């Protein structure tokens, strides 16, 4: 594995989940592997779980960490080639990526979707530019269209909590007052391609995810039908993909409630967090023992640690 930009970069998905599981049991088993090496964490957007869990994972492996809030601590970056840099962007990513590569052995980057320019978002300008101009491995800490560290943590959470061989897993859209990216939804779907599961996506009309990602997966526009007999329910909002960046409805019909959860097979509840209570789901779902959201957050550390260890094994 040269970079970790998406789950597809993993040499062996199942082995990585097992590695994450092993690292959760023995977080310090390889605490000298990263010694004398440095990871740079570059944030273009806010972060709580990713910031803390990736640092924690790095420390568990003995890596030095350098954290930067790129937007306000460094220089505004230019990503376009051939442009006359006359505006507010005072450094080109060609230099920034090459320079960071002098000080770090691995660089991890968070850069959200704009949700205003679909083509640009799908081109993953920030992440791909760093990949192109950095001479070190690049890790995706949530990009415009992908959040593979979250999906890997979710896979570990499914692995730990499934009680039957082929569970029914439902990814359901849920309401939100702001237009949110598709990254988590996309990566969860990508991850489910590796699972032996009865997987269904539920979303209102107009909210279908990119069909190149969902492929043959069943998409229902009826949430209650989808929830029937589910073993796992993953709730997540995203804005419209076809009417890119738009919010098409503001009602609470799709909010997940304890009543709706009764349709399931006593399903475990999942969400990547942060979550808006009583908008995305009602309190009763989150505060129920069946909620796995905190364990998902915990598993972020071991997902990141598995990715870091795999990259260190290569180097």
Both tokens of 226, joined, read 């989808």
Pairwise CA distance, residues 313 & 315, whole Å:
6
The count of residues interacting with a second copy (CB under 8 A) is 61
In sequence order, the 6+-apart residues with CB closer than 8 A to the CB of 269 are 232, 233, 235, 256, 261, 281, 285, 286, 288, 290, 291, 292, 293
- Are 62 and 35 in contact by the 8 Å Cβ rule? The answer is yes
Q: Name which position in 40, 137, 148, 167 contacts a second copy (CB under 8 A).
A: 40
- Are 57 and 141 in contact by the 8 Å Cβ rule? The answer is no
| Beta carbon nearer to a second copy, 78 or 199 | 78
Query: Which of 12-20, 41-49, 124-132, 219-227 is the region at the interface with a second copy (rule: CB under 8 A)?
Result: 41-49
Both tokens of 103, joined, read 């000080």
Q: Name which position in 8, 166, 294, 315 contacts a second copy (CB under 8 A).
A: 294
By DSSP bridging, strand 168-173 and strand 198-202 are parallel
Would you count residue 132 as binding a second copy (CB under 8 A)?
no
Would you count residue 237 as binding a second copy (CB under 8 A)?
no
169-198 residues in contact with a second copy (CB under 8 A) are: 177-178
Q: Name which position in 2, 14, 15, 75 contacts a second copy (CB under 8 A).
A: 75
Would you count residue 85 as binding a second copy (CB under 8 A)?
yes
Number of H helices, E strands in the chain: 13, 11
Would you count residue 283 as binding a second copy (CB under 8 A)?
yes
How near is the Cβ of 289 to a second copy at its closest, in Å? 13
Nearest Cα to Cα of residue 15 among 212, 224, 315, 309: 309
Question: Where does this chain bind a second copy (CB under 8 A)?
Answer: 28, 31, 36, 38, 40, 43, 46-49, 51-53, 55-56, 59, 64, 66, 68-69, 72-75, 78, 81-87, 90-92, 94-96, 98-100, 102-104, 177-178, 273-279, 283, 286-287, 293-294, 297-298, 301
């Amino acid at each position: 594995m040269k970079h970790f930009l998406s789950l597809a970069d993993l040499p062996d998905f199942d082995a990585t989940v097992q590695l994450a599981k092993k690292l959760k049991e023995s977080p310090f088993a390889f605490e000298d592997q990263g010694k004398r090496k440095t990871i740079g964490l570059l944030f273009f957007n806010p972060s709580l779980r990713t910031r803390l869990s990736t640092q924690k994972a790095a420390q568990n492996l003995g890596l030095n960490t350098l954290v930067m809030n790129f937007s306000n601590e460094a220089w505004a970056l230019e990503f376009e080639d051939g442009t006359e840099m006359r505006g507010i962007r005072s450094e080109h990513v060609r230099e920034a990526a090459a320079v960071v590569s002098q000080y770090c052995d691995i660089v991890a980057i968070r850069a959200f979707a704009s949700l205003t320019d679909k083509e640009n978002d799908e081109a993953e300008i920030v992440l791909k530019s760093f990949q192109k101009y950095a001479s070190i491995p690049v890790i995706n800490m949530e990009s415009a269209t992908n959040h593979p560290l979250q999906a890997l943590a979710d896979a570990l959470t499914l692995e730990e909590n499934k009680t039957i061989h082929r569970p029914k897993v439902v990814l359901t859209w849920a309401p939100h007052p702001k237009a949110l990216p598709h990254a988590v939804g996309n990566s969860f779907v990508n991850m489910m391609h590796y699972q032996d599961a009865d997987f269904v996506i539920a979303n209102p009309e107009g909210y279908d995810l990119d069909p190149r990602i969902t492929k043959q997966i069943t998409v229902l526009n009826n949430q209650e039908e989808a929830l029937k007999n589910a073993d796992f329910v993953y709730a997540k909002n995203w804005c419209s993909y076809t009417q890119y960046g738009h919010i098409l409805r503001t009602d609470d019909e799709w909010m997940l409630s304890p009543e709706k959860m009764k349709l399931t097979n006593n399903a475990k509840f999942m969400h990547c967090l942060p979550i808006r209570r009583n908008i995305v789901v009602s309190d009763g779902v989150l505060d129920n023992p069946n909620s796995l959201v905190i364990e998902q957050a915990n598993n972020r550390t071991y997902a990141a640690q598995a990715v870091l260890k795999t990259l260190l094994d290569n180097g």
